[in-house]
Amino acid sequence: MKLSIVTTMYRSGPYLKEFYRRVKTEASRFTEDHEIIFVNDGSPDDSLGIAIQLHREDPRVQVVDLSRNFGHHKAMMTGLSFATGDLVFLIDCDLEESPELLGTFREVMQKNPDADVVFGVLARRKGGWFERLSGWLFFKIINLLWAEPLPANLVTARLMTQRYVRALNQYRESELVIAGLWLSAGFRQIPVTVTKQSRSETTYSFGKKIGLLIRSITMFSDLPLKYIANLGFIIFAIALLYSLALILTYIVSGKVPQGYTSLIVSVWLLGGLIIFCIGIVAIYLSVVFVETKNRPYTIVRDVYGRPPASKSEDD
């Protein structure tokens, strides 16, 4: 049985050699027929050079060099498209997730032969109070809007069968939210509680997290659009009832109710609400705009190892 190990590189230079040593040791315990695929996501440090040197020393190492930084999720999907193993182990190479999880996940999969995925979740998110709070809010909002619940505190590390990876590679979105694809692909997936070390600062700024949340909602849920329609109906109903009340008041008393301040407040409130709703619709339209272009989500500049022609065969 062949094993593929896929990881992405971005400012990963200080960790690559130790990661390679540990993951290769773990893979060798499993099978000698394995490959290690490093995807360079436009890393500005010496990650590419170190990975190429590892390739020269070990023919099992393959390096996929992207033309620029496309983002973590897109780089992972590109790496998976090059994986040929019967089992595929996806993991970050910053050593926050232990490479030895490969053995742990393999044991769980052997006990559950009908499972296609074994993945890691954190019992408690790492970082300070703000990172933990923002992570909790992220999963809370996602699970309120997605049709299927997303397991909280997911990590990258997961062991997958080749048929599950092929299913993932059938998705052709230009804007990727990989956790949504993991869930959308289906199959039986088993969570395993893992620990994560804090060895480097996260590259996900607050702005990137907000962008990921917006993409997660617009790519996998149409509930905000339905909420807008429901909100419009509720406002219309309230306005209709209030109009009838004003007409009855005028008929009974012959006076027009005064209320300049409330009128101005209502105009500003409804005006802001309309602009907000239009903004939500505009975000959905922008997603449609991007997807209809059908652009590739990454561009591979070079491949060190297996020739890139085999990638087109998988397609």
Burial class of 45 by CB neighbour count within 10 A (0 to 12, 13 to 18, 19+):
middle
Q: Does the predicted TM-score (pTM) go above 0.75? A: no
Amino acid letter for position 166: R
- Sign, CA dihedral 80-203-131-18, equals positive
Structural domains in the chain, CATH included, are: 3-221+297-314 (3.90.550.10), 223-293 (no CATH)
Which strands form 3-9's sheet, in the order they lie side by side?
189-194, 117-122, 154-161, 87-90, 3-9, 34-40, 61-66, 300-304
Tens of pLDDT, residue by residue over 126-140, are 656 566 666 667 667
Helix (H) or strand (E) holding 55, with range, is helix 47-57
Helix (H) or strand (E) holding 201: none
- Helix or strand holding residue 199 (H, E): none
Type of residue found at 15: Y
Task: Output the CA torsion sign for 273, 276, 282, 283.
Answer: negative
Strand locations in the chain (E):
3-9, 34-40, 61-66, 87-90, 117-122, 154-161, 189-194, 300-304
Q: Which of 88, 151, 162 lies closest to 121 in space, CA to CA?
A: 151
* DSSP 8-state code for residue 170: T
18-22, 26-30, 124-128, 286-290, range with the lowest pLDDT: 124-128
Q: What is the pLDDT of residues 272-308, one digit of tens each?
A: 677 777 777 777 776 676 667 677 888 889 898 864 4
